[in-house]
Amino acid sequence: MPGASNEDKNDENHIFYPETRTFDSFRRHFLSTQDPPESSHVDFFGTIKIHGSNISLIFTNDDQPCRIQSRNRILSPDSDLYDCHRSLSRAPLNDLVSQIATIYSDPWTEIMVVAEWAGKGIMKGVGTSLVEPKFLTIFNIRIERKWQDIRKYRTVALRDHRIYNICDFPSYSITIDLRDLNDVERADQEMDVLVAVIDKKCPVAAYFGIDGPGEGIVYTYIPPQTSYHLYNFKVKSTSHQIVRKSTVVDAKTVGLTRSVDAFVQYCITPARLDQGISYLEEMGKQIQPSSTGDYIRWVVRDALNEEGYTLEERNLKEKDVKQALTIAVRRGWEVRLKAALRAESGEFPN
């Protein structure tokens, strides 16, 4: 699902879930932080990336009911998302806290359980979008603002209520020397092979008896001590990539105009444009001309937020590319808007 900035929050109680970077962006950011590990050889734990809607369950120890939120807003009976609040409110969610407490024995004030809500009617183009009824998969747990090793919490689930754990499904491991570009290239190719297999047959969809494509893998570095930082990155199959790898590799900085064109071609992809539609749906906005400004602002901001390192690499600034990004996004919006209006009127292309 789409990322968010603080301005997207509709409630001060909403907790922002950090953006999952692409591999190259993660590597650059990780190496530039002040507290990397002593060795640049990093072990990563990979889990299936489910194409659905990001959902967090917020528990506090003050007898308040569990707060259910999407990536950008707090859900409620009157402001739901794909029936998520209605469905989860029927489950004994506090049992998840009891399960966590058997593993985490220290006192706590806040637990955040992060999961993906997926199934029929949520997203499209993947096997899990055909699963019915919908299901929730826990993939991260944060306690006292520190991210936990999900492997230690692999038993946390309510499977009778269709709440699963990401460790129920296949996992992967890889070690990468993030400073060695040859090893980075080796790892990149190895991960691409894995996601190509998932693209053909999603293991999560297969678990539910559905034969269909998957989205990719999320790799997480789990430091020796729990951290306030979440170190992870995503690797998507070709059909779901939000950037075009070949374009960024082949592009040469030969003048501002060509550099800007190459950047726009690199980061404004069908997948990113579709994420903008998902954002509008999450925020309860119609796919109508009145949503044009919201859509364009979100997609342009998403591209700039995620590709900051690429801009620096090309000696570009936001002001250099913003107009070109806006034009490209507007074109993508017009195509999607026309398709939505045709579908609404019952008109379909031959």
pLDDT over 90 at 207, yes or no: yes
What's the token pair of residue 21? 């970077």
User: Between 257 and 82, whose confidence is greater?
Assistant: 82
| CA 316 and chain centroid, separation | 26
Provide the CA 162 distance to its chain's centre, in angstroms.
21
Residue 167 has pLDDT above 80, yes or no: yes
Residue range 177-194, pLDDT digits in tens: 999 999 999 999 999 999
Give the C-alpha separation, 310 to 339, whole Å: 32
Instruction: Note whether residue 345 is domain-resident.
Output: no
Domain boundary among 213, 238, 263: 238
Does the CA dihedral 167-56-231-260 come out positive or negative? positive
What are the structure tokens assigned to 161, written together?
Answer: 């209520």
CA pair distance 313, 307, nearest whole angstrom? 10
Same domain, yes or no, for 231 and 327? Answer: no
Domain tally for the chain? Answer: 2
User: Under a CB-based contact definition with an 8 Å cutoff, are residues 129 and 97 in contact?
Assistant: no
Q: Are residues 66 and 142 in the same domain?
A: yes
Burial 85-104 (b: 16+ CB within 10 A, else e): bebbeebebeebbebbeeeb
Q: Are residues 181 and 250 in the same domain?
A: no
| 325, part of any domain | yes
Lowest-confidence range among 2-6, 70-74, 162-166, 239-243?
A: 2-6
Q: Are residues 303 and 225 in the same domain?
A: no
For residues 89 and 182, membership in a common domain is answered with yes
Note whether 171 and 57 are same-domain residues: yes
Query: Does residue 348 lie within any of the structural domains?
Result: no
The type of residue at 179 is R
Same domain, yes or no: 26 and 171:
yes
Residue 62, both tokens: 């003050």
Q: How far is CA 41 from CA 130, 155, 174, in A?
A: 39, 29, 10
Say if CB 92 and CB 26 are below 8 A apart. no
Rounded Cα–Cα distance for residues 192 and 22 (Å): 13
Taking the C-alpha atoms of residue 266 and residue 85, their distance in angstroms, rounded to an integer, is: 37
List the CATH number of the domain containing 15.
3.30.470.30
Q: Are 224 and 231 in contact (CB under 8 A)?
A: no
Sequence-separated (6 or more) residues with CB below 8 Å from residue 208:
128, 131, 135
Q: Where are the alpha helices (DSSP H) in the chain?
A: 23-32, 84-88, 94-101, 181-200, 203-207, 245-250, 256-267, 270-282, 292-306, 308-313, 318-345
- Asked if pLDDT for residue 37 goes beyond 80, the answer is no
76 and 143 in one domain? Answer: yes
pLDDT range class, residue 217, cuts 50, 70, 90: very high
Q: Who contacts 255 (Cβ-Cβ below 8 Å, separation ≥6)?
A: none
Domain-located, residue 349:
no
Range of the structural domain that residue 295 is part of: 242-340
**Separation of alpha carbons 331 and 184, rounded Å:** 35
Identify whether 20 is part of a domain. Answer: yes
The tokens describing 309, both together, are 């390192």
pLDDT band at 280 (very low <50, low <70, confident <90, very high): very high
pLDDT at position 129 over 80 = yes
Whether residue 14 contacts residue 78, with contact meaning beta carbons closer than 8 Å, is answered with no
Per-residue pLDDT band at 236 (split at 50, 70, 90): very high
Rounded to whole angstroms, the Cα distance separating 180 from 296 reads: 38
Could you give the CA distance from residue 349 to residue 334 in angstroms, rounded to a whole number? Answer: 16
Is 350 within the bounds of a domain?
no
Domain end residue (candidates: 238, 270, 287): 238
Residue 294 maps to a domain: yes
The answer to whether residue 35 is domain-embedded is yes
Report the mean per-residue pLDDT for the chain.
Answer: 90
Q: Could you give the percent of the chain with pLDDT greater than 90?
A: 78
- Please check whether residues 164 and 252 belong to one and the same domain: no
Quick one: 91 and 69 in the same domain? yes
Instruction: Supply angle C-alpha 260, 265, 270, rounded to 5.
Output: 145
Task: Give 79-113 pLDDT, tens digit per residue.
Answer: 999 999 999 999 999 999 999 999 999 999 999 99
Q: Which of 215, 238, 261 is the last residue of a domain?
A: 238
Whether residues 278 and 194 share a domain: the answer is no
Q: Domain check: are 164 and 28 in the same one?
A: yes
pLDDT at 7 over 60: no
Alpha carbons 1 and 52: distance in angstroms, whole number: 6
